[in-house]
Chain A
Amino acid sequence: MSLYASSVTLRTVPGGHQTCLVSAGIGSCPNVMANGLMLAGTSSKTGVRLCICLSIHSFNFYFVLFCFRVAGEAHVFGTMLVAYGYIYPLQNHKKLVMSNDTSLYRFQVKPPFTLCVLLFSAIYLAKRNIRKKGMLEPYEQVHYNHLHEWLNHKWDFIVMQATEQYKAGKERKKADRVVFDCQERAYWIVNRPPHFVHTVVQYAGLRNPDIEALWPPLVLLLCLCRLVKYITTYKNHDAFLAPCLPSNPWQTDNDSYWTLNMRRVDVPTKMRVERWSFSLFELLSDLRGRDDFKIFLKKEFSGENLAFWEAAEELKWGTASSMSTKAETIFKTFLAPGAPRWINIDGRTMGLTVKGLEHPHRYVLEAAQTHVFLLMKKDTFFRYLKSPVYKDIQKKARNPEPHNFRLFNSNLSKPAGAKFSEPRCGHSSNHPLAAGGGGESKGCCCLCSSRCQGHDEQNRQEEVKSNTVALDIMRHIKYQHK
């Protein structure tokens, strides 16, 4: 991974509790500054932004972005920049922190993405091994051994390339070589590739590390697919994305939503019932759903699974003093041979659980509980969804009408044939404090400014104005010191 010493050397200037980074060595001509950022922008993908806090000694505002008034915050932010690899120190490599003294820092480079990360990491480690004659840090040794095993087929190349790179590096002048080495070291400390664990593919004897370097993106792809699926399923149930029926109690001060969705309501709402069908976890988390499920299981005479699951939950969340008694009752009821509600789990899990029950702790039933949960999920849950019990409750479930409040003293006349349009300040017609009836409204009639878009806009504009004032001041100071 070839890197190069980039841009300017920065130095920290201690100012009591406020650290400030001063860039030395660039002129004030805007070209250089712009390109300093641009280089960092293309390489580090976010553009390097430095924190500078105002201290009376610092004059350099080229990279002003933040002004820290809280003591120590600048130091923390600076350390984060170093730790995440945007800047690297030219001294003190053991720890990537920003220290509050006159030490030097430089911008780091983020090379383009490549799948050969492992290869480059191995070359770097071999090079360092040559340089240090085997005296690597312990974590480096571990990584080296891991890579030697994982990239064994390319090892000859790695050693050859590392030797050549080392010798080529020696041809440079000492100062540049040192900076280059510092940069590389800091880069690899931050961007160490993760260890790949043995995989099934490897056991089959078909190891191909180049493909396995693709696993992180593949895993990411799988996670994204799952996320998309989750979003499409829960889209209508999210209170931020879809309107709450009948109305959001926090907005309208009407708590019918809560009363309709109480724990022991006879007739649940349609949204609630729909939510039960998403997964067994949803069904069991909603206690009303759990009751419904219990009714179904009673009809099927297979209620012991759910009962065991509930008992295990009770054990998990219960008090420590009651644990041993609970464990005993559970054993007698569910697990002992010939128990009245004996659950059907495989022999291995049963053996483990029974053995664990000799010294019961909170999670002793975890394995059995998971097994039972999976049994219910794979089999009983789908039967429940198709059962008459569920279909019945679906039919019975009610769908409350959305509220439509009107201002009691609204005297806005409705023009004939007016459409039910939104008032000018952007309230939806369901907003309780909106001008009722739609049509033209004369300005914002809302009484609560925090929910009004018009008021929000005003607040935002004020904030923008105050920020630009701050920026202007700083720019003024900079030009004064040119």
Chain B
Amino acid sequence: MSRWRRSVDELTARRQQAECERAQEALSRVTSCFQQLTASLGSSADCSFLRDEINQTRVLAHRICSGLSRRLVRLLADGDSSVSGVEDRRLSERLWVVFLSALENFLFDLHKARDLIEQFPLTQRSDRRSLVSTGCIDGMVGVAARVALVQVPWLTLEEEPSPDLTNHIAELEAMLSEMQQRVSVAFWSVEATQPAWAEARGEPEELDGSLEDLMEVEVASSSKKKMAACCQLPCCGLGCIG
């Protein structure tokens, strides 16, 4: 009876771990897209579309984070001695460490986003003049599409009100400290699964030239575009240089 019970528990634990792993990958994708999106805050590509996309990305990340934290705490707080073998426990601990690192990373980006949004509020049309013209030509559509493709296992199951930016930051910080108090995982005991330099042998893609080569081509074309952007300003008395 107990052996059957144990095997059932093991299976559930493993399923939960797989779910957490998928959620972790999704979180990684969402946070990296968030980072790219916030890179354009305050620049000439800043617009309400961008802000909306940032908000949606943040909300999605919030959902993933809260669900993931709940599941991980459940996995690690309860399953000390009972169910999981050493391997399972190690896997859960690795997921834990990865999640906490992801949270710290995301928090940093959130802080940055909040500071920038505070400095460049786009509430009125006149605020657009305060934006720094970086010559950014991207509308961030590709990144936004990438975010939209992210799927979370429990997205449909749980619906919670999503907080705004400041509350989100406060909530995440509270979550971080609470998690670290409830479960004690020795960070240094977790070992990497991948050896060093493994990621370089990833999928073969088209060879990107070095930055210098790319810039050679780009200077001619992009500078023209940038010049065009600048000459549209009526008061620019510089004339196109170079």
Q: Give me the interface of A with B, judged by CB distance under 8 Å.
A: 2-9, 11, 13, 22, 24-29, 31-32, 35-36, 38-39, 42, 59-60, 90-93, 102, 104, 111-112, 114, 116, 119-120, 123, 126, 129-134, 144-145, 148, 152-165, 167-169, 171-176, 178, 180-182, 185, 206-208, 210, 481-482
B52 CB contacts on chain A under 8 angstroms: none
Given contacts A129-B199, A153-B188, A178-B211, 8 further A-B contacts (CB under 8 A): A2-B38, A26-B133, A27-B236, A32-B133, A90-B219, A93-B212, A134-B201, A172-B140
Are A9 and B135 within 8 A (Cβ)?
yes
B71 shortest CB reach to chain A, Å: 17
Q: Are A161 and B235 in contact (CB under 8 A)?
A: no
Q: A11-B241, A92-B212 are in contact. Are A157 and B202 (CB under 8 A)?
A: no
Distance (whole angstroms) from the CB of B72 to the closest CB of chain A = 14
Chain B binding surface, main DSSP class: helix
Contact indicator A90/B135 (Cβ below 8 Å): no
**With an 8 A cutoff between CB atoms, is B82 at the interface?**
no
In the complex, the answer to whether B211 meets A181 with C-beta atoms within 8 Å is yes
Distance between B200 CB and nearest chain A CB, rounded to angstroms:
4
**Nearest B residue (CB) for A154:** B101
Q: Let me know if A31 and B129 touch, CB within 8 A.
A: yes
For residue B134, CB closer than 8 A to chain A, the reply is: yes
A-contacting residues, B188-239, CB 8 Å: 188-194, 196-202, 208, 211-212, 214-216, 218-219, 221-223, 225-227, 229-230, 233-238
Which residues of B have CB within 8 Å of A181?
211
The CA of A119 and the CA of B97, in the complex, are separated in Å by: 13
Chain B residues positioned under 8 Å from A178 (CB to CB): 211, 214-215, 218
| Residues of the A chain whose Cβ atoms lie less than 8 Å from the Cβ of B216 | 91
Q: Which of B25, B104, B233 interacts with A119 by CB under 8 Å?
A: B104
State which of A144, A156, A171 has its C-beta within 8 Å of the C-beta of B94. Answer: A156
Q: State in angstroms the CA–CA spacing of A416 and B12 once bound together.
A: 101
A18→B177 CA distance, assembly (Å): 55
A-B residue pairs in contact (CB < 8 Å), sample of 24? A2-B35, A3-B39, A8-B135, A24-B227, A27-B230, A31-B129, A35-B130, A91-B219, A120-B105, A133-B200, A133-B201, A153-B190, A156-B94, A157-B28, A161-B32, A168-B32, A171-B145, A172-B140, A172-B143, A174-B214, A175-B221, A176-B137, A178-B215, A206-B188
Binding-face segment, B2-10, B40-48, B58-66, B161-169: B40-48
